Structure 1
Amino acid sequence: MQRTELDQYLGSLLEVGRFKDYGPNGLQVEGRTEVRRIVCGVTASLRLIDAAIEAGADTLLVHHGLFWRGQDGRVTGWMKQRLQHLLAAEINLFAYHLPLDAHPEFGNNAQLGARFGWQADGRFGDQDLGFVGPLTEQSLADLQQQLQLVLGREPTVAAGDGRPLRRVAWCTGGAQGHFEAAIAAGADVYVTGEISEPQAHLAAETGVAFVAAGHHATERYGIKALGEHLAARFGLEQQFIDLPNPA
């Protein structure tokens, strides 16, 4: 398919226009006109760009792109290297941040929930990014073990008051700031990627458990699902490359 067709399709599918984001969504670096082989990954790091080149990709599809609000703006150092490799190989770079988090089928939150059998019956937080729904009653220890087994990473836990877990709220990545909204939404436990100092106090004082399961670990699944969808719908070649990240 043509690059412009892919850009238009993803913009419509992910409803890019309705989000106020921290950077541009859609085509960030222009490469070849025709799209045949897509490599998907979480972040447009130099390692992923080089892996896409090695895989013979003409298009790289990521959740975390190159350009963010508040950046210096100069093309030097690491930014020069990433852009230089993309441009030399004529690889298109598409990035979708909040639109991918929020999508009800291919989004990071939807895909993470699917791996644990969580069915959302509500949304919460800024731009309704967070999901909340019922949980088959379990202990926090059981949930922690399940998360570690599936995600391959030991989560950081602020335990709350030890109540039985009947409702779970979740929002992937760096969404620790949505904890208060998750509490207001009636959650017994909140699962996200990262924790900051204030969340430990809020967990102790409200009794709602907080689980930080890893930023990268919780955001692997949306971009993978989106790539698989594009391959099935348009007959494109697609490969998901997961590069280990301790965060």
Structure 2
Amino acid sequence: MPVPLQDLVRHIDQLLDVARFRDYCPNGLQVEGRARVHRLVSGVTACQALLEAAVEQRADAILVHHGYFWRGEAEPVVGMKRRRLATLLEHDISLLAYHLPLDAHPELGNNARLGALLGMIDVQRLDPGDATAVGNIGHLSAPRKVVDVLGDIAQLTGRTPLHVGNPEQSVRRIAWCTGAAQSYIGQAVTAGADLYLTGEASEPTVHIAREEGIHFVAAGHHATERYGVQALGEHLAAEFGLEHRFIDIDNPV
């Protein structure tokens, strides 16, 4: 049976503890569509291609990690923003977006899912003093050569990651944060990580990795953030009996 939209939003907001986070965008219901939801499409980013795919699937709602209305963006509803909003409004489709709360959730979050898929154990927050911290640190079950870890990451993400360091060295203690979290490399060094994994790289990151003696891996912003929204969509399907489909709109960044 279709679930009332507001019940669905309320459940996710409570599950992800949205109120705890000071974010760069509004979390939750960003665009309101029809009052009841039966078909849910999820994806990483609410780009036009995802919206059009959701229309083809006759979705009632779209669930994403990267939504709209980011802090500092231009406010006029013109061009690309107008086309995206027009698609949602014309087809009466709701848009639900969860950014940092989805990164941080200890079971369904992007970091939790990536760590689980890579076989990490003894997982803790990278910053244990911050309850809203989004980075994690943990161990492999045994030391492994970096080249083998890179192979696992490539198989999981479907792309060859950028690596700074000697691939023949062995690592065990790994820190990670999905997306554009290259600036957390300093926290990874302080925490004693052998390797830091994130989505993107900046020019200074390479020098920090070399001079601090830590392996650095950038495996793709989109590629590392596929897993949380899928897990959340699957949870909602099981909880409410929804039809759910994850649609991956490829992004090389």
Superposition TM-score, scaled by structure 1 size: 0.97
Query: Following superposition, which runs of at least 4 residues in structure 1 exceed 2 angstroms of deviation?
Result: 160-164
Distance in 2 of aligned mates of 1:90 and 1:60: 11
Cα drift, residue 115 of structure 1: 1.1
Among 112, 134, 138, which residue is 1:129 paired with?
134
The match for 2:147 among 136, 141, 152 is 141
> Match for residue 4 of structure 1?
6
Partner of 1:13: 15
Query: 1:162 Cα deviation (Å)?
Result: 6.4
Asked if 2 retains the 8 angstrom alpha-carbon contact of 1:163 and 1:207, the reply is no
Residue deviations 1:116-165, cap 9 Å, x none? 11124321247321110112211111111111112110101111696520
Residue 120 to residue 31, structure 1, CA distance change in 2 (3 Å): farther
Aligned residues: 247
In structure 1, the gaps of 5 or more residues are none
Distance between the aligned counterparts of 1:122 and 1:240, measured in 2? Answer: 28
Render the CA deviation track for 1:2-29: whole Å, top value 9, x for unaligned: 1111111100000101111110000000
Instruction: Say which of 184, 191, 202 aligns to 2:197.
Output: 191
Q: Does the CA contact (< 8 Å) of 1:161 and 1:207 recur in 2?
A: no
Q: Deviations over 1:57-110 (max 9, x none)?
A: 010000000110000111000000000000000000000000000101110011
Q: Which amino acid aligns with 1:242?
A: D
Aligned to 2:173: 167
1:217 and 2:219 aligned? no
Please state if 1:81 is matched with 2:83.
yes
Letter in 2 for 1:112: L
Match of 2:249 in 1: 243
Q: What letter is aligned with 2:209?
A: A
Per the normalisation by structure 2, the TM-score is: 0.95
Alignment of 1:147-158 (within 5 A): 147-158=153-164
Give the Cα–Cα distance (whole angstroms) in 1 for the partners of residues 180 and 156 of structure 2: 19
Q: Which of residues 61, 67, 79 is equivalent to 1:59?
A: 61
Counting only pairs closer than 5 Å after superposition, residues 105-116 of structure 1 correspond to structure 2 as 105-116=107-118
Report percent identity of matched pairs.
53
C-alpha RMSD of matched pairs (Å): 1.3
Instruction: Confirm or deny: 8 A CA contact 1:28 1:66 kept in the other structure.
Output: yes
Shift of 1:168: 0.5
Partner amino acid, structure 1, of 2:223: A
Q: Does the aligned pair in 2 maintain the 1:42–1:62 contact within 8 Å?
A: yes
Tell me the equivalent position of 1:95.
Answer: 97
